Chain A
Amino acid sequence: MADRTNLTLEQLCSAKEVLVSTGSGGVGKTTTAAAIGTIAAARLGAKVLVLTVDPARRLATALGLEQFGNVETRVPDAAFASVEGGPRGELWVAMLDTKQSWDDLIARHAPNDATRDAILVNPLYQNITGKFVQSHDYVAMERLYEIHTSGRYDLIVVDTPPTRNAIDFLDAPDRMADFFSSRLLRWLITPYRSRMVNLASKPFYSVADRILGTQFLEDIAEFFMLFQTMYDGFVERAKAVTTLLGGPQTSFLVVSTLEVAPSREAEFFLELLSERKYHVGALVLNKVLPELLLSANGADAARLMAADSEAIASSLASSLLVDGDAPDPNHIAHVLAEVGSNFANFSVVARREAEQRAELAQIPELCVTVPWFDDDIHSVEGLLRLGEILWR
């Protein structure tokens, strides 16, 4: 089903070390990332990691693994029963546990155990890492970087949160570096009392004080003072992560369906990626309706079946038998009319999608389309079947 151009996903997976799968929610991004990782492990003889950072935890289901967390886990070769001779490489999976990743990060960067422990119990830290959304993005990129530099894998396929977050995701390392270099931070870590003396910042203080209360401000101050000890490490790492994402070993996949809203987001994201000079490897279009819905003969037949359903039904009645009996011609007519109008209905959708596809496919070099599946994929076997469609 893949559109044959000179570039293929096989080629991309052979050349790149990191593939970042992006797209809006519900377009099959996670499944696509898993399928690419799976087929690459089976075919290339590579050691492949599929890393999902999506907080909604979808990959576990797609891989038929009930639970795997922050720990990189190998998918047993037995799951590749449908591959003759077994997979040539290894498939590993990991899911980002934001809280755990943050804790690991603190443990790595903290200058000593006392600082580490003080941060880990700070209520602000626990809230940032546990409850709030923004912290996913940075730690996801950090984890990707960590795994990549470990040299444990030939290929890492990363799944990302939905598109608009995926932009945050790209900006996260820079934002983190900015944050640590900010004047605000320096201000916050100045001891509270001495700050009050500084007349220049007094208006801000009195406002902040009235809004948030002194205790909260002091909690923030403590938190950032502790973080300050890790400043250099964080900024260094943030820069390194940015370099990895923009480097020649990394490529982005944009996944979408041909529905209007996801297509617009895909277009927006494709433009943004190319503006920022990231490598866009492929556009993957999921749930594409079959081309037969565009057939002119089909449209003619459908129109006749809907319009003349009764006449056609009576002409078929003599030869049409269900369990040896001739059904009521009215029922036949109803089936013909329904089937005809069904074609007309779906062909409107298919035409709209064809237009959408023509517009989107102008942007990347490689555009792969995947048909509708009746059901979601929950097995390595299913991922391999999807992988086959994507591969060449």
Chain B
Amino acid sequence: MTSDPVPLLERRLLFVTGKGGVGKTSIASALGMLAARRGLRTLVCEVDAKGNLSDFFGVGPLRFAPTEIRSGLSAMAMDTEESLKEYLRLQLRIPLLTRLGPLAKTFDFVATAAPGVKEILTVGKLAYEVRERHYDLVIVDASATGHVVGQLASPVAIGELVNAGLVRNQTDWMIELLTDPATTGVVVATAPEEMPVAETLELVERLRDETDVNIAAVVVNRVLPELFGRKEESIFSALQEPDVLGRLKEQVGEGADDVLEAAQLAVGLRRSRVTHLARLRDGLPEGLPILYVPYLFTRSHGVRATSLIAEALGEELGY
């Protein structure tokens, strides 16, 4: 991280990862929407075969073949068997249907057993789309923190295992593409809670130790608004004095109790999050951009939420 980081949307390939539950897919789809709104030909790809990326765009099921779901924005679902077929067709010019029957049948076994086959077919397909410039930007809704390092390290691992043949030639260019910070970056999604912060710091360290892939940004999702500052907090406390509360209830009814308790809950949640955010900032390498996305109350899921998060990310990026 010696030089200034390459701006997020100027890269060509972004892997969005994060601890389960922090909204990794929300962030990936929102980045896709933002990039497309800014005129980039964008592809968003989900890696988990049973994923729900389509929910975030409010569209029907996604397939391996990219579908244009709105202007400039395409989406696909990774399917390693399809990826293998495509690879064989492109690289070896094997007539598809005739020879592949038995191969496809055995593929699942090989993929389960042989190390990194699924990983490399995933990363390979994405790197191919980037290399061929089919899109300006490819955004990957990647595996969760536990597995993403293995995925990103797969070309190197395969390269070590296989020292001849086509695969070996293929891993070389993939590694080059993945390790170029102007091209590829990892976006780590997190939330201002204890475990997500701890896992984010752990992941950033592992990515730096075990791969040469550049980390582009950390996105903190679901940041609660600050209700009021310190001075106003003492007013809030004073509101709970019996005589003040009594007068308040005369005007707004018995529900004042519930309203104040809800505020107490929000203040508590916000306060505990501030410490987690501080720990995150302190633990991350200097110069790594951190983007904040506010907690959404009205919609937490679906195309509307994606659109709101895209707006928030756009503001954070200064657009």
Contact of A338 among B21, B228, B257, B261 (CB under 8 A): B228
Query: Does B65 reach chain A (CB closer than 8 Å)?
Result: no
Inside 8 A of A289's CB, which chain B residues have their CB?
265
**Chain B residues whose C-beta falls within 8 Å of the C-beta of A224 in the assembled complex:** 113
B146/A215 in contact, CB under 8 A: no
Q: How far is the CA of A55 from the CA of B115 in the complex (A)?
A: 18
Asked whether any CB of chain B lies closer than 8 Å to the CB of A312, the reply is yes
- Contact, CB under 8 Å: B144 / A25: yes
B143 to chain A: closest residue by CB: A133
A266 to chain B, nearest CB (A): 12
Chain B residues with Cβ below 8 Å from A133 are 143, 146-147, 150
A220 to B92: give the CA distance in the assembly, Å: 22
**B220 to chain A: closest CB distance in Å?**
14
Q: Which of B21, B106, B110, B195 contacts A262 (CB 8 A)?
A: B21
Q: Does A358 contact B (CB under 8 A)?
A: no
Q: Which of A179, A260, A300, A345 contacts B112 (CB 8 A)?
A: A179
Residues 1-45 of chain B: 1 if any A CB is under 8 Å from the residue's CB, otherwise 0?
000000000000000000111100100000000000000000000
Nearest chain-B residue to A333 (Cβ)? Answer: B235
Option from A179, A214, A297 in Cβ contact (under 8 Å) with B164 = A214
- A332 interface residue (CB < 8 Å to B): yes
Instruction: Assess the A164–B48 pair: CB atoms within 8 A.
Output: yes
A24 to B48, CA, bound (A): 13
Q: Is the CB of A335 within 8 A of B48?
A: no
Given A179-B112, A316-B248; A298-B297 close (CB under 8 Å): no
Is A346 within 8 A of B266, CB to CB?
Answer: yes
Docked complex: A299-327 residues within 8 A CB-CB of B: 299-302, 304-305, 308, 312, 315-316, 319-323, 327
Please report which residues of chain B, range 37-93, place their CB below 8 angstroms from some CB of chain A when the two chains form the complex. Answer: 48, 50, 52, 55, 88, 92
Contact call B109/A346, Cβ cutoff below 8 A: no
Of chain B, the residue at the smallest CB distance from A201 is B102
Partner of A349 from the list B115, B247, B297 (CB cut-off 8 Å) is B297
- Contacts A290-B265, A343-B258 given; indicate if A304 touches B52 (C-beta within 8 A): no
Name the residue among B50, B112, B262, B300 with the largest chain A CB count within 10 angstroms: B262
**B299 → chain A, closest Cβ, in Å?**
9
Given contacts A127-B161, A338-B228, contact A346 B196 (CB under 8 A): no
Min distance, Cβ B58 to any Cβ of chain A, angstroms? 13
Whether B317 is near chain A, meaning CB under 8 Å from some CB there, is no
Q: Please, which residues of chain A bring their CB within 8 A of the CB of B55?
A: 261
A320 vs B260: C-alpha distance in the bound complex, in angstroms?
Answer: 15
Contact partners of A316 in chain B: CB under 8 A: 239, 244, 247-248
Query: When the two chains form the complex, which single residue of A260, A320, A375 contacts B301, counting CB atoms closer than 8 Å?
Result: A260
Interface presence of A113 (CB below 8 A): no
Per the bound structure, the CA–CA distance linking A171 and B227 in Å amounts to 48
Docked-complex contact B231 and A331, CB < 8 angstroms: yes
Q: For the complex, is A365 an interface residue (Cβ under 8 Å from B)?
A: no
Contact of B166 with A211 in the complex, beta carbons under 8 Å: yes
Known: A56-B146, A209-B165. A298 touches B244 (CB 8 A): no
A167 nearest CB across to chain B (Å): 8
A-B contact count (CB 8 A): 247
- The answer on a CB contact under 8 Å between B235 and A127 is no
Hey, which chain B residues are within 8 Å of A376, CB to CB? 193-195
User: In the complex the two chains form, is B255's CB within 8 Å of A164's CB?
Assistant: no
Note all chain A residues with C-beta closer than 8 A to B50. Answer: 164
Q: Which of B19, B163, B164, B255 contacts A56 (CB 8 A)?
A: B19
Given contacts A184-B106, A299-B255, A376-B193, are A213 and B247 in contact (CB under 8 A)? no
Q: Give 1 or 0 for each of B99-131: 1 = CB within 8 Å of chain A CB.
A: 100110010011011111001000000000000
Can you name the residue of chain B whose Cβ is closest to the Cβ of A340? B259
Residue in B closest to A129 when the chains form the complex, CB atoms: B115
Q: Which of B115, B157, B164, B237 has the most CB of A within 10 A?
A: B115
What is the CB-to-nearest-CB distance from B168 to chain A, in angstroms, rounded to a whole number?
6
Q: State whether B253 touches A297 (Cβ < 8 A).
A: yes
Instruction: Evaluate contact between B52 and A216: CB separation under 8 angstroms.
Output: no
Question: Is the CB of A288 closer than 8 A to any CB of chain B?
Answer: no
Top 7 closest pairs, chain A to chain B, by CB: A25-B20, A26-B21, A213-B165, A298-B258, A297-B255, A301-B255, A213-B164
The chain A residues found within 8 Å of chain B, CB to CB, are 24-27, 54-56, 58, 61, 123-124, 127-128, 131-134, 161-162, 164, 175, 178-179, 182-185, 203-204, 207, 209-216, 219-220, 224, 257, 259-262, 264, 289-290, 292-293, 295-302, 304-305, 308, 312, 315-316, 319-323, 327, 331-332, 334-336, 338-340, 342-343, 345-349, 352, 372, 374-376
B contact set with A: CB distance below 8 Å: 19-22, 25, 48, 50, 52, 55, 88, 92, 94, 99, 102-103, 106, 109-110, 112-116, 119, 143-147, 150, 153, 157, 160-168, 191, 193-196, 198-199, 227-228, 231-232, 234-239, 241, 243-244, 247-248, 251-263, 265-266, 268-269, 271-272, 297-298, 300-302
Apart from A55-B146, A124-B114, A292-B262, 5 more pairs, CB < 8 Å: A133-B150, A260-B302, A293-B262, A298-B257, A320-B239
- Complex A-B: 26 CB contacts under 8 Å: A25-B19, A25-B144, A56-B19, A61-B195, A127-B115, A134-B112, A204-B103, A219-B161, A260-B302, A261-B55, A293-B262, A297-B253, A298-B258, A298-B259, A300-B255, A301-B258, A301-B259, A320-B244, A322-B234, A322-B238, A327-B235, A338-B227, A338-B228, A339-B236, A342-B263, A349-B297
